[in-house]
Amino acid sequence: MKIFRFLLLITLFSAGLLACTSTQKDQTEATGKQRIVCVAKQLTELIFALGAGDQLVGVDLSSTYPPAAQKITKVGYHRLLNAEGIIALKPTVVFHDGNVAPEAVMQQLEKVGVPMKVFKDAHTLPEVKALFDTVAAQFSAQKQADSLKTKLDADLAKAAESVKQYKTTPKVAIIHFGRVINNYLVIGKAGTASYMLEMAGGRNVMDTLKGMKPLSPEIISKAQPDIILVTDFGYDRLGSAEKLATLPGIALTPAGKNKKIYRIEEHDLIYLGPRTGENVQLLMKLIHQ
């Protein structure tokens, strides 16, 4: 009898969710607007830039730009999502870039019929411009995408001209706090952050590392960076350059001795988007001061 009741509850729960999904689909067709949960910060910023931010009903914790995104309901970190939180928002679609977890959550969403739209993440300028077009197609916003591309090109040209004034190339280390593993990490050379750093006239000293590695005294003291950039969540966790200098090995570096440890917004550094040209110019001023 207990097993029968359990199966009945599951059946009713699934039927309810399917009914909701069907209702939301009808509403979407009637209004032309979707109820989107977006769990990729690069996509969230782009959706707002395309003028479709009002169709977002949920975002992940890393979606912190623009400020309006911070007022939207959170559904967990993109690598630590919560299925119940997403389902409760009754989305007509979930947008992501494939960098999502845990797998069981994604399977659960699929099982109850929540549609998924996966966008290929963009690591180069041609790729990000293609992403503008792909996402714009979801909202019939090609004109806005073309404007974003024009502005991006103009901002990057300005940055390329500005960087010529600097005659030195600072050695920079980038530290990021990994929320899933609860640890400070150093970012290796391959990746968007290093790409932007090069455009800003700097050099990532972790040029032998692939991906992100846990911060250790050996890694950071051997690299001897002139500048250390710390992404916002990790910086705010300790609160000051002085406290960050107490992390393993940092006090032994020129950056630690000279207190050249700076906070930088994660969304300005580790993905490409509509503001990348502006962000390169900001980064340039930060590392050359």
Question: Which tens digits make up the pLDDT trace of 115-166?
Answer: 999 999 899 999 999 999 999 999 999 999 999 999 999 999 999 999 999 9
pLDDT, tens digit (0-9, with 9 covering 90-100), for 31-50: 668 999 999 999 999 999 99
What DSSP string runs through 44-111?
HHHHHHTT-GGGEEEE-TT---SGGGGGSPB-EETTEE-HHHHHHT--SEEEE-S----HHHHHHHHH
Number of Cβ within 10 Å of residue 126's Cβ equals: 8
| Cα–Cα distance measured from residue 245 to residue 242, given in angstroms and rounded to the nearest whole number | 5
**Is there a contact between 229 and 262 (Cβ–Cβ < 8 Å)?**
yes
Reduced to 3 states (helix: H, G, I; strand: E, B; else coil), residue 282 is: helix
Please state the rounded mean pLDDT for residues 249-265: 95
Say which residues have a Cβ less than 8 Å from residue 25's Cβ, sequence separation at least 6: 92
Q: Where are the domains of the chain?
A: 36-121, 163-288
CA angle, residues 22, 25, 31, in degrees to nearest 5: 145
Quick one: DSSP state of residue 275?
A: T
Superfamily name with CATH number, domain 36-121: Nitrogenase molybdenum iron protein domain (3.40.50.1980)
Whether the per-residue pLDDT at 179 is higher than 60: the answer is: yes
pLDDT surpasses 80 at 193: yes
Mean pLDDT, to the nearest integer, of 201-222?
89
The pLDDT of residue 25 is 56
Which pLDDT belongs to residue 23?
A: 55
Q: How high is the pLDDT of residue 154?
A: 98
Q: 27 pLDDT band (50/70/90 cuts)?
A: low
Amino acid at 146: D
The answer to whether 36-121 and 163-288 have equal CATH topology is: yes
What topology is assigned to 163-288 in CATH? Rossmann fold (3.40.50)
CB burial of 15-30 (b: ≥16 within 10 Å; e: otherwise) equals eebeebbeebbeeeee
pTM above 0.75, yes or no: yes
Mean pLDDT of 264-274: 95
pLDDT at 20 over 70: no
Provide mean pLDDT across the span 100-115. Answer: 94
